[in-house]
Structure formats: structure tokens, C-alpha cells
């Protein structure tokens, strides 16, 4: 195997991660605007992309395994970094370029997902706060203030369920 196959896989991985980045940005807008239907569509698209990602990762692993066999090396989980020194100069440059681009896309995707996580957590806090405002305090409304009995309050959430 030469570096061409591995470079092609890295190109595909980079393009897929660009799509992940676009979906993450769309997800940010959907969360900000409270568009649940759009968010569900985006998540379905992400699921399909995750399946593609798994296939590409398997393809990358097969390509590196074939390369190892042609080199007479026995090693598991070889990284691109470990293969680069064995390639000719042109293949090294091309593979390094796509490796760098892929890492940039992964970093951007992680940052966007971190932002989305913060927005979703903030939205959940707001929903819980809103529920607390609308839910009356039971001890104030349904017990006699002079009895001195301690009552344990039951808090309900929209996430509570019974089997």
C-alpha cells in the first residue's frame, strides 16, 4: 500500500467532519430558536453521519493493516503519524496536509458541540426554573402552619415516571 489510499480515507473523513460541523452550527441555531422539529431532523442526520464515520474508520484501519502487512510489521492500532515516515516525500506532504485538516475539523466540531451542550444545559435550567414557578409550594398551601409537623415535600418533574 502506498499513502494514496490512506490519503483518500483522510479526505473522506475530513469532508464528513465538515458536514458534522455544519450540522452542529445548525443545531446551535435550532436550540437558540427553540425549534425542536429542526433539532430532531439534525440529530437524525448526525446519526447517519456517525454510521458513515464508523465505516470510514474501519476502512482506515484496514488500509493501515494492509500497509503493515506489506512492510512486514506486526502491530495493532497504528496511527497515521507512525506511517508517515515510511512514505515518499510527496505522499508524506499530502498525508500530513489532510491529517492537519482533519484535526482542525475535529477541533472545530468539539468546540461547537461544547457550545451546544452549554446552550442545552441552560435551556434545561430555564425549563426547570419555569416549572418551579408554576408548581405551588405544597407546604404553604396544604398544611396548617401551627401544627409543627414536618412534611417531606414531593417534587415532581416532567422527567419523573412510574413503571
Domain ranges of the chain: 3-134
Question: Which of the following CATH numbers is that of domain 3-134: 1.20.58, 2.20.25, 1.20.1270, 1.10.287?
Answer: 1.20.58
Phi, psi of 69 (to 5 degrees): -65, -40
Read off the DSSP letter of residue 145.
T
Residue tagged 426547570 (cell numbers): 128
pLDDT of 57 = 93
CA distances (Å), origin 87, targets 6, 59, 90: 11, 19, 8
Are residues 3 and 80 in contact, defined by beta-carbon separation less than 8 angstroms? no
Query: Quick one: how many helices (H) and strands (E) in the chain?
Result: 5, 0
Read off the DSSP letter of residue 77.
S
Euclidean distance between CA atoms 44 and 38, whole angstroms: 10
Residue among 80, 76, 77 nearest 102 (CA): 80
pTM metric for this prediction: 0.73
Are residues 95 and 80 in contact, defined by beta-carbon separation less than 8 angstroms? yes
pLDDT of 141 = 52
Mean pLDDT per 10-residue run, the chain (163 residues)?
83 97 96 92 96 95 84 78 87 94 97 94 86 70 56 54 52
Amino acid at each position: 500500500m502506498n499513502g494514496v489510499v490512506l490519503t483518500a480515507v483522510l479526505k473522506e473523513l475530513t469532508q464528513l467532519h465538515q458536514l458534522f460541523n455544519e450540522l452542529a452550527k445548525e443545531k446551535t441555531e435550532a436550540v437558540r430558536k427553540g425549534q425542536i422539529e429542526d433539532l430532531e431532523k439534525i440529530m437524525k442526520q448526525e446519526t447517519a453521519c456517525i454510521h458513515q464515520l464508523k465505516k470510514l474508520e474501519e476502512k482506515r484501519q484496514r488500509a493501515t493493516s494492509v500497509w503493515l502487512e506489506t512492510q512486514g510489521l506486526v502491530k495493532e492500532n497504528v496511527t497515521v503519524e507512525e506511517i508517515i515516515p515510511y512514505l515518499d516525500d510527496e505522499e508524506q506532504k499530502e498525508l500530513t496536509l489532510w491529517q492537519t485538516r482533519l484535526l482542525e475539523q475535529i477541533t472545530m466540531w468539539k468546540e461547537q458541540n461544547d457550545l451546544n451542550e452549554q446552550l442545552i444545559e441552560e435551556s434545561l435550567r430555564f425549563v426547570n426554573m419555569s416549572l418551579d414557578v408554576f408548581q405551588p409550594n405544597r407546604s404553604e398551601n396544604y398544611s396548617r402552619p401551627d401544627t409543627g409537623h414536618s412534611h417531606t415535600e414531593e417534587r415532581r418533574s416532567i422527567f419523573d415516571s412510574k413503571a
